[in-house]
Each structure stands twice: as C-alpha cells, then as structure tokens.
Amino acid sequence: MRARANALLWLLGIVITVAAFVVAMRGVEQNDRLVADLVRVPAGCATTVNVSASGTYFVYVETKGRVDSIDGCDNDSRSYNTDSAPDVDVTILDRAGDVVEQTSDDTVSYSTPSGVGRSISSFEAAEPGRYVIEVRSATQSAVVTVGVDAAVEKNRLVLIAVVGVLVGLLMMAVALIATVRRRRRPTTTGPVVMYGSGSDEPSLTWAPPRPEDRAPRS
C-alpha cells in the first residue's frame, strides 16, 4: 500500500508541475497581448485615450517596440530599439481639460516580444472617460506607453503557475524521500526455535528472510 501511495504521489506531482508550466506559458502570452494593447504616443504628439474604468494607470517610456501612425501627429509607423530610455515630459488632461496629477514611479517594467519599457509615473483615473496624453522630448524618436500594470509577475495565471510548480515539486520531493527511506530499510530475520527429536532442549537457529522482507531490486 505504501508503494502504491508513493507512486500516486509521484504521478500527481508530475501532472501538477506539467500543468503549471502550461498555465505559465498562457500567462506569458496574455502578458504579451496586454503590452501590445498599451496606448503608444510618440514625442511631439497628443492623443486621446478612452479609459474604460477608474483606477491606477502607468506611464512608461518604451525602448523597444513599434508605434503606428497617429492621425493629427507628424509620425509614421516605425519600429525602434534603443539602449537607454530618453527623457520625456508627459502631460495628462482629463475630459474637463484639467491637468491630472502624476506620481513619480519607476517600479514597473515589462519585457515581451511586443515591447520593452519601464514606468516613469502613475496617475489615478477618477472616472472612466477620455484623457489626452501629450508627450514632449528632445529625442524625437521617444515613445511613451500608457496603460495598466504590465509587469508579468502581476499576471494571475503566472502567479497560479508558480504556486502549482512549487506544490508539484514538493510532492515529488516527498515521494523521493519516501522511496529512498523504503529502499534503505534494513531487512531483519527473526529467530526460530526448533526442538530436536531426541532432546527436550530447544535449539536456536535463523530462518532465511521472507520475500516480502527483501529490499526491492533497483
């Protein structure tokens, strides 16, 4: 029974670990789509963003990615890949035309096939609606992105996958320890008391080990 339970523990650990890796891959793909959907604003341009829900949003400077042409802006569709983030000046206006206060924040970053960037600030969208993003920079190739927290470690599927991998590895570790202990368990033989035909005195001898007491072959 113990051997069967140990084998079942191994099997469950492997299944959970494999499933967790599959979930992690989907989480990474989901994060890449999130980055691709960020609003991109090139330097020297102002664009309108439709915010669907109130909450915290981040302003990123993107060093690798692609920006499409924007109506009303003097820019063409282009790809970019720079070693360092340029300095930018970003102004955000709400639908009433008031300036939205930004908080300096460089704690969020993303790196996916769709783009690489790091946050420079965050702001609170008090209510859904249209917001205008204006970007100025001495570096004409600078591109700013705006959106939600795009860090892959905040993705729920990735977090679930990490927990799954830890649980699966723990189960396999327990199964391995149990297997090693079972194989190292010493085999013992019990004494057998025998009586000779011509004597009433018992003689002590040893019986060979039973098949179930023998260590399994590796």
pTM for this model (two decimals): 0.68
d(CA 52, CA 176): 51
Which residue, among 154, 147, 153, 142, has the nearest Cα to 37 in the 3D structure? 147
**Residue that finishes a domain, picked among 108, 132, 149:** 149
Mean pLDDT estimate for the chain: 83
Domain of 121, CATH number, reads 2.60.120
Q: What is the pLDDT of residues 72-122, one digit of tens each?
A: 676 778 889 988 899 999 999 998 899 999 999 999 999 999 999 999 999
* Shared-domain flag, residues 91 and 141: yes
**How many domains are contained in the chain?**
2
d(CA 88, CA 164): 41
Q: How far from each other are the two terminal CA atoms of the chain, in whole angstroms?
A: 19
Domain containing 201: what range?
Answer: 2-23+158-206
- Asked whether residue 212 is domain-assigned, the answer is no
Categorize the per-residue pLDDT at 124 as very low, low, confident or very high, splitting at 50, 70 and 90.
very high
> What's the pLDDT at 192?
54
> Cβ atoms within 10 A of the Cβ of 13, count?
20
Which helix (H) or strand (E) covers residue 29, if one does?
A: helix 2-36
Q: What is the pLDDT of residues 125-170, one digit of tens each?
A: 989 999 999 999 999 889 999 999 998 777 788 888 888 888 888 8
**Residue that finishes a domain, picked among 125, 149, 173:** 149
